[in-house]
A and B are shown apart, each in its own frame.
Chain A
């Protein structure tokens, strides 16, 4: 029988050499690119008329640390809940019940048409009062007071975070849609033919494939959340933007404050995007 080599894989003996060469060129070019931006940053800093002084910014490292942690914690909270709500929204959108499909469509359109800033503002200042009135009226406030006696209704930051979560939800639903539809009809037929149970189908065939397709866009959305969380300053969440903005108002060191703010965001988003690349390389199809 004829053996036909696949044309897209080079002979084994050649590959290591090519890889080494490619890797070297990769590091050189990326190194140069990063250097370019560092020089650019340096020139911009040098062109400032004032002498830069970061001491006032790092005066209270505990504030910076707390702000950093608050941003990360808020982002993770929004990530987890938007994944859950996104999955629910996805199931609505493929439901046999037309009303649920319509509901998910209308909701998605509203969110797509809304700026995040407006969403957070509405949640933090407009809906907050209504929702707190409603939960007070129907007895939920009293119920929560049993566990947390200081509870007076949802706070601005809580409502703002809910706004961010809701805002990201349709984007999460989208990546679920893309992921699940990446499994072709024929595979479902095969699963049926071989007699896998529903649990086995998800456990061994669907989820392992979907996870691969899901991870990279999920991390992209996470990055959106982190950047979006800066807007939570308008509902007084003491995250990175809020604290550094206050510092620059207090100290007048605006260049330094924004510079540090920027670096703190990059300190979260850059490792994340590298992690996303890694996953794509590792699991990509």
Chain B
């Protein structure tokens, strides 16, 4: 995937991202790490086109992120699954396919069921999100992102609200997705997952990129901030 960010600054009340630039061409799985509040979620939302940056030019795979065409090629997995609570797992997917992608009803069902099965949810798809476990809901949310056939999938701390067993369950599911040939950008605190899933790592602090590089930078932090972070997540 090609990620091209030039002088991205974003502020709410204060500057949340500060003059971020990034140019990556050949990585398929990019990890964002850093303390809470460092701006990972904000960067993901901006890269996925969900939120408009205050200033800066942001392109992914050649599209400006505000391009409606790009938005249809994006999948997003939120921290707390964020499934629509009044719809079954299956309907959470088919509603989007039918209403926003113009997919026929029967066809939409087929696509939804295929992806729910892929994430081992074949026997859960007619349940409401509140009637399945947190890990299952999170996997359903991954299935939802996949069903839209995106080029890039964003995951914002997909396991932050789960216990260790469910975390493992979800991350195992995500790993399998590598074989589908999709690109990923994700934020997480699970360093072991970054090690064997990411091929590029970006460490952020206070709205700026402090260090970046191949996964090996995890073993050789240069700055105090990164050293400090690595000592805390282990």
Contacts and interface: CB of A to CB of B under 8 A. Distances in A.
Interface of A: 1-6, 9, 186-187, 189-190, 192-196, 200, 204-205, 208-209, 212, 285
Contacts of A186: 78, 80, 82
Residue in B72, B82, B148, B166 whose Cβ sees the most chain A Cβ within 10 Å: B82
Nearest to B166: A4
Residue in A9, A190, A192 whose Cβ sees the most chain B Cβ within 10 Å: A190
Contacts of A209: 84-86
Contacts of B99: 196, 200, 204
B84 A205 contact: yes
User: Would you list the 8 A-B pairs with minimal beta carbon distance, nearest first?
Assistant: A195-B100, A6-B133, A194-B96, A186-B82, A193-B50, A209-B86, A208-B86, A200-B99
B113 interface: no
Interface string B50-71: 1100000000000000001001
Interface in B12-35: none
A190 B133 contact: no
Interface residues of B, number: 34
B178 interface: no
A131 B169 CA distance: 69
A2 B130 contact: no
Nearest to A184: B82
A147 B45 CA distance: 58
Given A190-B84, A195-B71, A209-B85, 14 more contacts: A1-B169, A2-B165, A4-B136, A4-B165, A186-B82, A189-B45, A189-B51, A192-B50, A193-B71, A194-B148, A200-B99, A204-B99, A212-B86, A285-B85
21 contacts: A1-B172, A3-B120, A186-B80, A186-B82, A190-B78, A193-B48, A193-B49, A193-B71, A193-B76, A194-B96, A195-B68, A196-B99, A196-B100, A200-B99, A204-B95, A204-B99, A205-B84, A209-B84, A209-B85, A285-B85, A285-B130
A250 to B, nearest CB: 54
Contact of B132 (A1, A6, A204): A6
A208 B84 CA distance: 10
Contacts of B74: 193
B39 interface: no
A271 to B, nearest CB: 27
B221 to A, nearest CB: 32
Contacts of B166: 4
A209 B128 CA distance: 13
B234 to A, nearest CB: 24
B120 A189 contact: no
Given A6-B133, A196-B100, A187 B82 contact: yes
Residue in B76, B85, B136 whose Cβ sees the most chain A Cβ within 10 Å: B85
A2 B76 CA distance: 24
Nearest to A194: B96
B120 A1 contact: yes
B95 A190 contact: no
Nearest to A191: B84
B135 interface: yes
A151 B77 CA distance: 63
B159 to A, nearest CB: 13
B168 A2 contact: yes
B102 to A, nearest CB: 11
Contacts of A205: 84, 86
B71 to A, nearest CB: 6
Interface string B127-159: 000111101100000000000100000000000
A200 to B, nearest CB: 5
A187 B78 CA distance: 10
Contacts of B130: 285
Nearest to A3: B120
A2 B80 CA distance: 20
A2 B169 contact: yes
Contacts of A194: 96, 100, 148
B117 to A, nearest CB: 13
